[in-house]
Chain A
């Protein structure tokens, strides 16, 4: 609210502030400029042990300006959106650009690539709930988890979060877009204990539209079930085995893949996916696509972070073959390619499946490890070497036998992608990557 007030004091709204900044930068003699600007408000409420624990009110604003002059660039950011604040921020960016090195690849994305048509992608659903109602949801969620079993003995609480904001992107090509967005979530984390010790697990749901969130009770029950399932977990002997990543953790494998084909890693030759465009990097039953226009999805946008028009659909991997990298204008120019409208990242990734349910995948796997949690970040993006801490379940004859912990799963990502034998249709729809459980053969498990 403070920012709205600051704006009204200077007679500016977000779009006007953006135009003012672009105009001011031009008057200061820069060749090109661009900026993003956002402001938003939110509330986070946490209940623990059936009492209100914290109420947090969020109120954010940020202006980020980049300027280009003589093939050099500088950027600056600030929360101060008064006219004076905008001028100071632009001046700071210009000052930086005096000392950076020249690179012809810098600059705005090409003018002809700017998105020409604004699309309504159903990104904004204000949540009308007041704090008392949000607290009630958190209480019901935690209560469902606690009452699920006597073995749920403690709680880290349940949280309800709501955030709404508006964002503007503008550049000196004359491109300007302003849009509203929202994101709401409910989460719950509880602790179970028995003679074997304590275990914790959690569950959450998140959506732009609060009406589409899973019920508080369902989220609490899942958190409790996941926690109870881990009680009595043990280490297993080191071995080579088939590993099934459940749909919640399988997304991380897709995220490493996308990270490895990002332009920044490619032009610096710091990726294990270097020179792989046109190669079969995954089995032929795998297609990885980007769907930037998906209605109501968390990653949706009709233009990227530089104003470039996003496609409705792009196959990044088609039937196992890598189709191209993930590029913004700078990395595209460095590589002599065209931007793929990925400034700011990829938007709504979907991974194809081989048709099996979770139970069918376990059945086909026969024996192996089902991983439900990964910790640590032991990944070398230059070589693809992969080693992470894991927890999950040992599977025999297609049935879960017992919970497992204090083990690692390791391999090399290039081999791991080739060794995928199945992807389930048990998609986890939360977040901006849709992927089912992934089964990978020949991984090394380190344990006792």
Chain B
């Protein structure tokens, strides 16, 4: 498998422009020919992206994109120099390497290791190209099926918008410590959103999913599930009353509401912020930062998940990293640069949007381990509160620790029972404080359906989240009903 990946990567990225091991060594020599050079790498990437979208019952637009290039990086202490080339011919890449090495002071020639040892990695997904593996007519048929499934499900459906996308990426990472690591990464996604209308009132609902699969992941059952779920959410919203405003008990459903963890603790535990001391969690390893019911991990090793990677974008194998164990802060997510400066181990969290971006510590699949409680028991324990099961996006200020995430499906809990649906509202809290108020954790841990996109410093990467049903004793709900 691994040898297959290396040959795919070499055939895709090196052979078309005649790049040899000698060229790679020459490039690495240039990148490390800088006083005090600590680390350098080359990130070759080929990426093919295709997407189709449907509205008014037909697939109206499709687009196809191919990008390729190489990113060149050299690190000296805390300093990083970076350039990239979309031209994979040796003279263009050597010119980019000159740009990078000119940035540092020229010094003694620190030669890179000249023994290239391809790393053995166990792939977590198929090397199949999803875009090429299915004919275009069948891709269009997936969207048409999603449209029909939604319209047939309820006559109040007035509009269906669906989109299908497939990505096929081949990367080859060459590092100054002598590694040459390939990866071949498929990624597919299907999204269905609907507009429903009843008595002149309109609402929306949406559902989607995917992962590191081929398009065959979207079988009839899956397509119908997405469409029916989008319709169900929209119909619930039609009946929604104003959401309450104020601080109250909040029960979060399992799966996608794990966006809580991504925002409340995940970003704050990325290595770069903690090295710089700018996170609300900086310097707090060993301290209790959540209730003892909470064990939170970042796990890039789950087969076929959207947030998973066999190796990260620096060629390090991904891990199941414990961030918080029984409430105690255990560790950070690290890339090469920040791990070295902090004297910690890399955790396989070095990720980048593309060859044209610098890697940094990023999440993969971030989730909370299951607890002991029956989800029904959790609902029953709430006198007056909110039960939120679906969310849009979220955001965090890592310095103050304030995070938000916006519900798109939520209900009142009155006397231990789920009652009226309420309109979407933003929930806001302080990461370290909010995590301390988690008083019940369900036994129903699940991961999300595979739609997460995380943005940081202008770079987007696919991620996953997950959690069991859980109860927070006090969280501020941003509704309009006082």
Are A and B physically bound partners?
yes
Residues of A at the B interface (CB closer than 8 Å) are: 1-3, 5-6, 48, 51-61, 73-80, 88, 92-93, 95-103, 106, 131, 154, 156, 191, 197-200, 230, 233, 235, 238-240, 268-270, 274, 375-378, 380, 382-383, 385, 387-389, 391, 405-412, 444-448
Query: Do B429 and A444 touch (CB < 8 A)?
Result: no
Task: Determine which residue in A97, A388, A406 has the highest number of CB atoms from chain B within 10 A of its CB, and name it.
Answer: A406
Q: Which of B83, B245, B426 has the largest count of A CB atoms less than 10 A from its CB?
A: B426
A233 to B347, CA, bound (A): 35
Residues of B within 8 A of A (CB): 52, 55-56, 58-69, 78-87, 92, 95-96, 99-100, 103, 136-137, 139-140, 158-159, 161, 195, 197, 202-204, 243, 245-247, 276-278, 280, 356, 358, 392-397, 399-400, 402, 404-408, 423-426, 428-430, 476-482
Contacts of B62 in A (CB 8 A): 74-75, 96-97, 99-100
Known: A56-B82, A96-B136, A408-B428. A79 touches B69 (CB 8 A): yes
Contacts known (A6-B87, A56-B83, A59-B86); A48 close to B276, Cβ less than 8 A: yes
Beyond A238-B245, A268-B55, A410-B425, is A53–B79 a contact (Cβ under 8 Å)? Answer: yes
Name the residue among A200, A240, A446 with the largest chain B CB count within 10 angstroms: A446
A168 to B315, CA, bound (A): 38
In angstroms, Cα B61 to Cα A56, docked, is 35
Within the complex, which residue of B55, B87, B245 is in contact with A410, where a contact is CB–CB below 8 Å? B245
- Cβ–Cβ < 8 Å partners of B202 in chain A: 269-270, 274, 382-383
The 8 A-B residue pairs with the shortest CB-CB distance in the complex, in nearest-first order: A408-B478, A101-B58, A376-B404, A378-B406, A389-B404, A200-B399, A378-B426, A446-B245
Interface residue SS majority, chain A: strand
A445 to chain B: which residues have CB within 8 Å?
A: 245
Residues in chain B near residue A60, CB distance under 8 A: 86, 356
A233 to B401: give the CA distance in the assembly, Å: 12
B482 touches A240 (CB 8 A): yes
CB of A191 within 8 A of CB of B476, answer: no
Interface of B is mostly: strand
A95 to B135, CA, bound (A): 11
Contact of A79 among B86, B139, B280 (CB under 8 A): B86
Q: Within 8 Å CB of B395, what residues of A? A: 375-377, 389
- Using Cβ atoms and an 8 Å threshold, which residues of chain A touch B396? 375
User: What are 14 sample pairs from A and B whose C-beta atoms fall under 8 A apart?
Assistant: A2-B85, A2-B92, A53-B78, A78-B65, A79-B69, A100-B62, A376-B394, A382-B195, A382-B204, A387-B243, A408-B478, A411-B480, A446-B428, A446-B476
**A residues near B393, Cβ cutoff 8 Å:** 376-377
Residue of A nearest to B396 (CB): A375
Are B55 and A407 interface neighbours, CB within 8 A?
A: no
- Chain B residues within 8 Å of A410, by CB: 243, 245, 425-426, 478-480
Residues of B near A74 (CB, < 8 A) are 61-64
Complex partner residue of A268 from B52, B159, B399, CB under 8 angstroms: B159
Indicate the member of A61, A80, A376, A378 with the most B CB atoms within 10 Å. Answer: A378
- Measured CA separation A154–B61 after assembly (Å): 48
Asked if A76 and B92 sit within 8 Å, CB to CB, the answer is: no
Within 8 Å by CB of A76, from B63, B161, B426, lies B63
Q: In the complex, A88 Cα to B243 Cα: how many Å?
A: 52
- The smallest beta-carbon distance between A170 and chain B, in angstroms, is 18
